[in-house]
Structure 1
Amino acid sequence: MAACSGSLGLSERLQGLNGLFAIHKKKGPTSADVLNLLKTKLLEEAGMKQDPKKRKKQVLKIGHGGTLDSAASGILVVGIGKGTKMLSGMLSGSKKYTTVGEFGKATDTFDALGMVTKEQSYDHITKADLERILKKYTGSIMQTPPLYSALKQNGQRLSCLIKKGIAVECKPARSVMVYDLSVQDYSPPQFTLNIECGGGFYVRSLVNDLGKELSSCAHVKELIRTKQGPFTLDEHALQEDRWTIDEVVKAIKNCTQLVPCEGQKKLKTEISEQEKESD
């Protein structure tokens, strides 16, 4: 159990937290799984229990600001307490990714977790070809989301419906923003891209589209989110061994300086009050 100073007990400190901070999501679990693990760790440290079936009476309000695929890793911005109301800004804000794609194979999920649906030659593709085609995908573009996604149909996620064998409808193409797109490395069949984009953008769809544009096919081998809004993976994301109440308190205090908009002053005031009560 992490050391905790001040007159407030751990449960009071935890329930009094309000703000945003960032954690590191490992490759494998879903974003929801990671959030549940974080919540469980904090509640256990505070000696508190939460019945998962009683969602309307949560003893600890927590949420995240943008889903990362289970096959992806990187930064996940978390809102706790009143900070959950500020997560909408994270959903629509700028994000940065580094992705490794592979030409020659397409999968039904557009990533390495899916089943291979097509194989095509990629020997004709040069780095110059890839760099040239990236220009078409920079700026405001129309993009069709993948079927395997967190988007919903009749209140249920498309990915969950597909796994149940239920037919789903492809979502229509929508406008998304790509601020920057460049080739970091090209070692056929693999290629590495650096991407800065806005909300609603799917890296898996981009890689799938690039394969088609270059008369081949492609899927995502690896995906890392390195930045979300003002939060960066290297500077702000708490690793799992630091998911403690003390570390979260510090992270919220440090991250308050990064949070834009009118909520900044309110969060600073709330944190200040928490510190006074802990003295």
Structure 2
Amino acid sequence: MSKPPRTRFRSLDGILLLDKPRGLSSNQALQRVRHLFRAQKAGHTGSLDPLATGLLPVCFGEATKIAGGLLGARKAYDTVARLGIVTDTDDAEGQPLRERPVPALSIDAIDTALRALTGRIRQRPPIYSALKRGGEPLYAKARRGEVVEVEEREVDVHAFELQAAADLLDAGQPLLRLHVECGSGTYVRALVRDLGEALGCGAHVAELRRLWVDPFREPKLWTLDDLQALAGRGERGLDACLLPVESGMASWPEVEVDAAQAARLSYGQQVSGGFRPPGPVAIFDPRGRALGLGEVDGDGLLRPQRLFSWACTQPDVPAAGAR
């Protein structure tokens, strides 16, 4: 039996807003998309659990250089909490640890518990998580049966709100439908777990969907089926799904440099010009094309951090050390 032909990868730059399906890990979804696009280099920003669906930004080529900034962006989710059962993973994929009766709950009591988990809070991440200790993910240790102690850490929960409780209040399934907006490092599974404890019955995530990630607040999402259908008609249709690298840079303040300054930056030199504000910035040329990421110090000097390949091909470069 002959082997399928090996994928011939190509250079490709841009951002795909993938609608990750349930049942795939983020890396499995990434690899499928990478092979569909035949992209030499690809990475995703912010893992979604296999149970979760929704927005998974996939960065191709030079866009991988801004992926770290997207990881720390504000995100929004809709989730369904199943009350009364605690699992080892804090979601429906895990093994039940204990079951408790669900008490009679009012909307006021639920809202009070939600408010206590909103703002700058301390959260203990799930033991089944990708956080690393000693260079190894915690989930690998947990799967081996090792005792895993996870320290609490501060996270930002901008919104934790009840959308519907009809399932619970109508004596149906003990489900709460919730909306979450949070910052980097926040685990929705842990929020739901802690909500269940506050309500006196425990809880786990039954469903989870990521709605948006800054700066993609109203994303046009592409499913794997969408992309597979487009791939059958040629790569031009696939490539039309990609957003430019610049679309992912809205979270950084912009600074503009001229051709001479761009040339110096391309050789790793800092440039003066009274740049503002201090801190990480997105560097653009006068035509509005992004050149990469930089850092502005307190004196207004701009230093290159991660420049795109097209920014590193400047023909006329001043002598080293020049400003």
Question: Normalized against structure 2, the TM-score is what?
Answer: 0.69
Match of 1:170 in 2: 149
What letter is aligned with 1:206?
Answer: L
1:240 paired to 2:224: yes
Moved over 6 A (4+): none
Aligned-residue offset at 1:259 = 3.1
Match of 1:23 in 2: 18
Matches of residues 193-272 of structure 1 in structure 2 within 5 Å?
193-232=178-217, 235-243=219-227, 244=231, 245-253=235-243, 256-257=246-247, 259-260=249-250, 261=252, 262=282, 265-266=289-290
What letter is aligned with 1:266?
Answer: A
Aligned-residue offset at 1:88 = 1.1
1:89 paired to 2:89: no
Match of 1:133 in 2: 113
1:47-96 Cα deviation digits (max 9, x unpaired) = xxxxxxxxxxxx71100110001111110011111100101111111000
CA contact under 8 A between 1:21 and 1:236: conserved in structure 2?
Answer: no
1:141-174 Cα deviation digits (max 9, x unpaired) = 11000001111122222112322x1414322111
Match of 1:77 in 2: 57
Identity %: 32
Structure with bigger helix share is 1
CA contact under 8 A between 1:27 and 1:72: conserved in structure 2?
Answer: yes
Pick 1 or 2: higher relative contact order, CA cutoff 8 A, min separation 6.
1
Report the CA distance shift for 1:253/1:110 in structure 2 as closer, same or farther (over 3 A).
Answer: closer
Cα distance in 1 for partners of 2:245, 2:19 equals 15
Look at both structures and tell me which one has the larger radius of gyration over its CA atoms: 2
Match of 1:48 in 2: none
Q: How many residues align?
A: 244
Match of 1:179 in 2: 158
What letter is aligned with 1:138?
Answer: T
CA contact under 8 A between 1:18 and 1:267: conserved in structure 2?
Answer: no
- Tell me the SS of whatever aligns to 2:121: strand
Cα distance in 2 for partners of 1:162, 1:96 equals 28
Gaps of 5+ in 1: 1-9, 44-58, 273-279
Aligned-residue offset at 1:209 = 0.5
Q: Structure 1 stretch 17-26 or stretch 248-257: which is displaced more?
A: 248-257
Report the CA distance shift for 1:203/1:247 in structure 2 as closer, same or farther (over 3 A).
Answer: farther
- Tell me the SS of whatever aligns to 2:185: coil
What letter is aligned with 1:192?
Answer: R
Gaps of 5+ in 2: 1-6, 169-173, 253-281, 293-307, 311-323
- Tell me the SS of whatever aligns to 2:205: strand
- Tell me the SS of whatever aligns to 1:236: coil
Matches of residues 57-72 of structure 1 in structure 2 within 5 Å?
60-72=40-52
